Amino acid sequence: MTQGYAGGGFRSAGRRPRRLIGLAATAVAAVLLTACGSGSDTPPPGSATGQAAGAGCAAGAVPLTFWGWPAGYDLAVKEFNTTHPGICVKLENAGATTAEYVKLSDALKAKSGTPDVATIEYFEVPSFEITNSLVDLSKYGVGAAKKDVAPVAWAQVTRGSAQYAMPVDLGPMALYYNSKAFGRHGIPVPATWTEFAAAADKLHAADPKAAITNFDPESTQDVLALMQQYNAFPFTYGGGRKLGINFTGPAQTAFAEYWQKLIDKKEVTTAADFSPAQWSNLDSGVNAARLSPAWGPVGMQLNVKKTIGDWRAAPLPQVTAGQNLSGNWGGSALAVIAGTEHAKEAAQFVQWFGASQDSWKILSGKVAGAFPGYLPLLNSPTFQDSTLEISGDSKPNAVFAKAAQNMVNPQWPPIMTAALTQWTSTFAGVSKGTETLPEAFRTYQQQMVKYAKDQGFTVTEG
């Protein structure tokens, strides 16, 4: 069951349930059938803009319905409503991540009940873009915010001159390690993945109960983020109906074999991300490091006690010495949904939300804990010099901010709802030890190629 969502990352208690691919496949396919072929300016009737306004709004204010689930969004909405009396935003939780996307797809199919604005993670934007379900924000001047947004975030919500969402937060990754555990076993901070494997060998030899980190095979987003950084991202997509899927090429196979070796040697654990088992492993010394997104330390310090103050951030190990690449795990944007009767006001709201100091004072605070894609904050000395109790007097934000400038831009495919749904069941055997990661990659390749072709895509493999 969902326990929360902060800064673009999905938290779950225990192993996630195996959802059937048919749920997402049916919803997305239906939207493809109903929305493809219509222009993005053609609004389906029945938008939810007529719903009750948020509390404390001025009489006569333009009402907007906003679907969002991350922590702290209610505080940001309250601030917007207070400072923009002509617009009244009502926040509704329609479910987190995939649950919301399926509900949104169903509403678009029914042409009824769609919100004016919805939270959409970067990886899901193309799935709604291809169905003409998102308003082009460039028509409302939101492109003026580009100068204040991290390039990798902007690239994931735009195609050509069109802008399909307003970036909010990011999830650049770094190596977040227990400095006392590394010091106790004489392990230097690894600069390459080869050095990381050697450090794993050394740690496990010194303490057979210890594993250098956790690798959850069933957690789609962080595996794909690591694949980005490894130059093994399996999807290529430039818009339209042509799609590349490659989980079995040389780079992808090398990635799978690398992690399988560590799994086989029990030098990494495979606990569910954000589960009690993972937190216990990090706090007890079973795991000496975490491959963490930037928003990770804020939540982690709520779940560890013994090792508070011991954790430090360093760049992710690199495939080739001298590189400084990172992957992005999580991060989200706000999209204006086709069918809204108030696109201008909705565009004003999303631009304020993602690219204003007033919004980011809230979003980067203790309640929300979001990691900014907003450059004035991301690059500020105050933000980069800030500390967290879990990291002692070190400055993890400086490491994550540098990682944000060196992220590999992924080309997300327009089939991510189905891809996320299928992933859990396909990769469950890796967690159980009944299949290997390379085997799961081969199976998943066949499943996704078949699904994409069934949806009418021309698929290139390899």
On the question of pLDDT at 246 being above 50, the answer is yes
pLDDT band at residue 200 under the 50/70/90 scheme: very high
Percentage with pLDDT > 70 across the chain? 88
208: Cα separation from own chain's centroid:
33
CB 27 within 8 A of CB 417: yes
Q: Where in the chain is the domain with CATH 3.40.190.10?
A: 2-170+330-391, 173-328+411-461
Output the six-digit token pair for 393: 């007097």
CB 296 within 8 A of CB 391: no
On the question of pLDDT at 7 being above 60, the answer is no
- Give the mean model confidence (pLDDT) for residues 320-340: 95
What's the pLDDT score for residue 409? 87
pLDDT band at residue 38 under the 50/70/90 scheme: very low
pLDDT band at residue 243 under the 50/70/90 scheme: very high
Q: How far apart are CA 304 and CA 292, in angstroms?
A: 15
- Give the mean model confidence (pLDDT) for residues 370-384: 97
What's the pLDDT score for residue 369? 86
pLDDT band at residue 48 under the 50/70/90 scheme: very low
On the question of pLDDT at 29 being above 50, the answer is no
Q: Among 55-69, 315-329, 445-459, where is mean pLDDT lowest?
A: 55-69
On the question of pLDDT at 230 being above 80, the answer is yes
Q: Among 22-36, 48-62, 87-101, 103-117, where is mean pLDDT lowest?
A: 22-36
On the question of pLDDT at 22 being above 60, the answer is no
Residue with structure tokens 């210890």? 210
- Give the mean model confidence (pLDDT) for residues 311-335: 96
Strand residues in 59-130 grouped as ranges (E): 62-67, 87-92, 117-121
On the question of pLDDT at 274 being above 90, the answer is yes
Task: Looking at the structure, give the CATH architecture of the domain made up of residues 2-170+330-391.
Answer: 3-Layer(aba) Sandwich (3.40)
Fold for 173-328+411-461, please state it: D-Maltodextrin-Binding Protein; domain 2 (3.40.190)
- Give the mean model confidence (pLDDT) for residues 431-460: 98
**Alpha-carbon distance values, 133 to 39, 62, 107, 118 (Å):** 9, 22, 11, 11
Q: Tell me the β-bridge partners of 149.
A: 374
Q: Give the residue, 238 or 20, on which the prediction is more confident.
A: 238
* SS3 state of residue 382: helix
pLDDT band at residue 366 under the 50/70/90 scheme: confident
Q: How far apart are CA 236 and CA 41, in angstroms?
A: 27
On the question of pLDDT at 178 being above 60, the answer is yes
pLDDT band at residue 417 under the 50/70/90 scheme: confident
The set of residues, in sequence order, having a beta carbon less than 8 Å from that of 62 and lying 6+ positions away, is: 86, 87, 88, 342, 345
- Give the mean model confidence (pLDDT) for residues 233-248: 96
Q: What share of the chain is helix, strand, coil (3-state, %, to 5)?
A: 45, 20, 40
- Give the mean model confidence (pLDDT) for residues 205-234: 97
Strand residues in 322-394 grouped as ranges (E): 332-336
pLDDT band at residue 55 under the 50/70/90 scheme: low
Tell me the average pLDDT of the chain. Answer: 89
Q: Parallel, antiparallel, or unpaired for β 158-159 and 162-163?
A: antiparallel
- Give the mean model confidence (pLDDT) for residues 222-245: 96
Query: How much is the pTM?
Result: 0.87
- Give the mean model confidence (pLDDT) for residues 176-205: 98
- In a 10 Å sphere around its CB, with 0-12 CB exposed, 13-18 middle and 19+ buried, how is residue 225 labelled? buried
Q: Give the residue, 169 or 4, on which the prediction is more confident.
A: 169
On the question of pLDDT at 113 being above 50, the answer is yes
